[in-house]
């Protein structure tokens, strides 16, 4: 298989993903941007998702699979962070879907502005029994913030929900390593619905 220079590592925790896993994984592997690794962390699945992960790894050398006992989404992400090799780190949940061209455009912007991290707009669908019951969409205006700009606009960014999740961003791995940034596993156990907190 053709070899790629590794530029982005995508981390995906997988736990009993059911029908969503193929959509999520395919949306990443079919991106126009090929210089990636996809780290699937099977977090103790019991519904056949483990086998699906291994099948993807057999078919595509860019897929790395980790099998572990169930430790929660933050633990799964932290496990993958230890072995990620990409210049940038992206996160994708097993029920997410990357739009075509997302990684190519995001990496292009990151390179153009020497960005430590970038955030993009997103659309969230809340689906129950096959029916969309709620839609939430954010279209981010284009801004470039330096250190002082982030400090000045921090509360504006937080209050506008622009900083509320991980899967709409790319993070420079060297920054995460330098400051030992990881997901807060203890907080997740106390507040399981707030699983994106970074410590």
Q: Is the confidence at residue 199, as pLDDT, over 50?
A: no
Q: How many Å apart are CA 93 and CA 19, to the nearest integer?
A: 13
Summarize pLDDT for 26-49 with one digit per residue, the tens: 999 999 999 999 999 999 999 999
Answer yes or no: pTM beyond 0.75: yes
Burial (0-12, 13-18, 19+ Cβ within 10 Å), 151: exposed
Query: Please, how many CA atoms are within 13 Å of residue 160, restricted to the half-sphere of its CB?
Result: 12
Q: For the ranges 3-7, 107-111, 131-135, 190-194, which has the lowest average pLDDT?
A: 190-194
- Domains, the chain, ordered by start: 8-119+167-190 (3.90.550.10)
Higher pLDDT, 129 or 102: 102
Q: How many Å apart are CA 52 and CA 46, to the nearest integer?
A: 11
């Amino acid at each position: 298989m053709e070899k790629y220079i590794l530029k982005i590592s995508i981390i995906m925790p997988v736990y009993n993903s059911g029908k969503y896993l193929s959509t999520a994984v395919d949306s990443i592997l079919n991106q126009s941007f090929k210089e990636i690794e996809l780290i699937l962390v099977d977090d103790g699945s019991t519904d056949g998702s483990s086998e699906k992960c291994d099948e993807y790894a057999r078919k595509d050398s860019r897929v790395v699979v980790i099998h572990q006992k169930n430790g929660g989404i933050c633990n799964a992400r932290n496990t993958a962070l230890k072995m990620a090799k990409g210049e940038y780190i992206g996160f994708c949940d097993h029920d997410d879907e990357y739009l075509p061209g997302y990684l190519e455009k995001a990496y292009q912007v990151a390179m153009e502005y020497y960005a430590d991290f970038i955030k993009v707009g997103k659309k969230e669908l809340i689906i129950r029994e096959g029916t969309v019951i709620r839609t939430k969409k954010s279209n981010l205006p284009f801004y470039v913030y330096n250190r002082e700009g982030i400090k000045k606009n921090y509360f504006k960014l937080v209050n506008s929900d622009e900083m509320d999740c991980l899967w709409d961003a790319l993070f420079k791995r060297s920054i995460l390593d330098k400051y030992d940034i990881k997901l807060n596993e203890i907080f997740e156990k106390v507040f399981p619905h707030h699983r994106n907190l970074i410590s």
